[in-house]
A and B are shown apart, each in its own frame.
Chain A
């Protein structure tokens, strides 16, 4: 809290954001009952405190009046968080490079070339750990990522870790680990295409 109060806005945009965000937090404090506040306050990160609070019915009703898609957007944020946490979670480029035995710059280079998957979180990139097998990348990762070109990073992440009809319910990640590269490649090629599996 002390850190937040100590932050002085440096631009008009920052001032407006701080004012409105603070007002929104005050509304949450005045609207939510004690047990809802307790549940939200026990979340593991500050951002999650807000996510939990915004999903409470007392708040959601008024938010939905302003934006009918608000609930779906909140669910999307929660789902993104879950996607980041599966199969060992994500790490920064320095640590990822360290495990691969390459520099951070080389990791960035591979990300830009599309041969590594990274999610942009704020001003940083986060690399899913499951892309590694020991000190190498997962077999055929590059080919599958190439087949997923055109899909954004979140969609590619979702593809790898979710069960897939074309793989009899296995996730592409599981299928790659068990050597079913061709099947995964076909699933990747058909992602987002209207067709019968």
Chain B
């Protein structure tokens, strides 16, 4: 029994022409939903914990996770412990 998803191993270096590429930036308009712990007192949390998929690899910049749909926010917050990341709309 192994758990591999959080340990991808050594990754290849990016292409040498990386600096010539234009980052893909998609403008979005709100509102956005974020579920947060009461203890945090605010939903504004730009995490640098490196615990999440899209966190900066060096921890240099913080990332805030939010969803344009309340359902999406709910799933991303509470489904971890049910062993799945998707849920039928019927539920």
Contact A169 B51 (CB under 8 A): no
- Chain A positions within 8 Å of B77 at CB level: 192-194
Q: Which of B3, B35, B39, B76 contacts A167 (CB 8 A)?
A: B3
Q: Does B26 contact A (CB under 8 A)?
A: no
Q: Please, which residue of chain B has its CB at the minimum distance from the CB of A182?
A: B6
Q: Does A175 contact B (CB under 8 A)?
A: yes
Q: Does A162 contact B (CB under 8 A)?
A: yes
Contact B81 A196 (CB under 8 A): no
Within the assembled complex, what's the spacing in Å between the Cα atoms of A170 and B1? 9
Within the assembled complex, what's the spacing in Å between the Cα atoms of A159 and B65? 22
Contact A187 B54 (CB under 8 A): no
Q: Which residues from 6 to 48 on chain B have a C-beta closer than 8 Å to any C-beta of chain A?
A: 6, 34-37, 39, 47
- Chain B positions within 8 Å of A187 at CB level: 80
Contact A164 B81 (CB under 8 A): yes
- Chain A positions within 8 Å of B81 at CB level: 158-159, 162-164, 191
Q: Mark A145-176, 1 if CB is under 8 A from B, else 0.
A: 00000100000001100111111111100110
- Chain A positions within 8 Å of B36 at CB level: 193-194
Contact A162 B83 (CB under 8 A): yes
Question: Can you spell out 25 A-B residue pairs with CB atoms less than 8 angstroms apart?
Answer: A150-B39, A162-B81, A162-B82, A165-B79, A165-B85, A168-B3, A168-B4, A183-B6, A186-B51, A190-B52, A192-B37, A192-B77, A192-B78, A193-B37, A194-B35, A194-B67, A194-B73, A194-B77, A195-B47, A195-B53, A196-B53, A196-B65, A197-B52, A197-B53, A197-B80
What would 10 more interface pairs be, CB under 8 Å, given A158-B81, A191-B81? A164-B80, A165-B84, A166-B5, A168-B5, A169-B84, A170-B1, A170-B3, A193-B77, A196-B76, A197-B80
